[in-house]
Amino acid sequence: MERYSEITNKNKREIVLLKSFPCKWGKCSFCDYILDNSNSEEEINKINFEVLENITGKFKVLEVINSGSCFEIPIKTLEKIKEIINEKKIEKLFLESHWAYKNRLDEMREFFGIEIIFKSGVETFDNDFRNKFLNKNANFKDYKEFKNYFDSPCIMVGIKGQTKEMIDNDIDIILNNFNHATVNVFVNNSSEIKRDNELVSWFVEKYKFLDNIDHIEVLYNNTDFGVGD
């Protein structure tokens, strides 16, 4: 499992995939990365401290992800991240959180004291598909409500059951209303949810221009940021 990488094409930054306590929700139908979660604080911190040693601060920007929300990262790890941020003069931090923590985001902003770009897994702005099919439990009405809290939506494309119209609408929203967004092309995993290869081919062809758009990052494989397995 790779846990440290450098993103060097768009929005240059270092990225670490940390271990954390179990995802508070843990029931999204497409998710199997919660298998990386642990209940052992000692084990989590030990692994995280080793991973964090790789950070050089060379881009002044760091992204911290875990298989869940940043609020599930133990405090000792958070304190270590803060220490490194100060030491390496990091100016911007990307963090990720589920909608359930939307009212707590300022806690992280105050704790770290630097600019934070908050990402969140929207998967799609189609409310039915997101909450009924993907079981995301992220109950916002529209992108405007989401944007009241978060800076950067993560969208998922290429799932069986998803339509081209849903994807067109999602891409239109992220292109025109957010300063940063990520598109994850769905890759089959151990969950019941399946990839629609025809839909993926259509997406890749129609939206290849996204590769040249600075504020949209497309992950064709879930290891494209260089972390994960």
Q: Which residues here bind ligand SF4, judged by CB under 6 A?
A: 23, 25-28, 31, 33-34, 67-68, 98, 121
**Closer residue to ligand SF4 in complex, CB, 32/106:** 32
Q: 116 vs 122, which CB is nearer to ligand SF4?
A: 122
Nearest CA to 111 out of 77, 67, 149, 154 is that of: 77
Least Cβ distance, residue 214 to ligand SF4 (angstroms): 26
Please tell me the total number of residues recorded for the chain in this structure. Answer: 229
Instruction: Look up residue 77 and give its amino acid.
Output: T
**Cβ(19)–Cβ(37) under 8 Å?**
yes
Output the smallest distance, CB 150 to ligand SF4, in A: 13
CB of 30 to ligand SF4, least distance (A): 7
Nearer to ligand SF4 (CB atom), residue 112 or residue 186: 186
Helix axes of 75-87 and 41-52: crossing angle, nearest 10 degrees: 10
Site of tokens 């993560």:
154
Nearest to ligand SF4 of 119, 180 (CB atom): 119
Reduced to 3 states (helix: H, G, I; strand: E, B; else coil), residue 218 is: strand
CB of 83 to ligand SF4, least distance (A): 26
